[in-house]
Structure 1
């Protein structure tokens, strides 16, 4: 999925202001260069003037910040390196951690969006990339997961 779409979906899901998106991103790294104007440019439609593509680095910092925002930071743990490449699998993993979702929750969320998956299919998405049963998360699955999670979070599902 396009990083801008992921950012847009999470922002809508949690009803975040542009300033809050900046604040959450800074939870991952206080010195990360991002401003409200950047967020506004990421949220524009790609045909609109002023549209800017959301980089992997920006989305990775936002997702890491989202985990700290939702769950708090464990000061006893060393900071994890920020993902260099944000795949759909990474987005799914970060959201699972941020929202403290169990397998049962993941299945319910996907089912509520009309996109049920089997237990082996779901577990394959969370395996290491070099594992023989690893499966890439497709755009359709991630889009439906975001839709189902939004229904759950906003209370209309």
Structure 2
């Protein structure tokens, strides 16, 4: 066991865990941030995606000891009330069916829109590659990203 100081969603948190513990389990089991989901456990599906200093990463395979001073943002850190433009667009486009993959999908979409404010279909496909939606809502995901892009360009 070791003590780690983590910067999660703008707040400093302290946890005592094995250094090899994946960030996913630190978030869910120790910090009770359950929006980040366990999907496959091998970083292949994207359900566990969080941001590490703004970069989307798969948290199920990332040991907490590798975090250091980097800032973690989870789906809970985007907004308290689903008002982030990507979350709002997701709701408006009725993207979720089962909803299980959606937090990872949203985190990937937010990272994309932070890099490219007006992404092309090819940009969206590249950014979302490897994010699996068992319900097949990919066309709605693409439309939600386009809608969020427009919302974000109006805001800022």
Q: TM-score, normalised by structure 2?
A: 0.29
Q: TM-score, normalised by structure 1?
A: 0.29
- Which structure has more strand as a fraction of its residues? 2
- Which structure has more helix as a fraction of its residues? 1
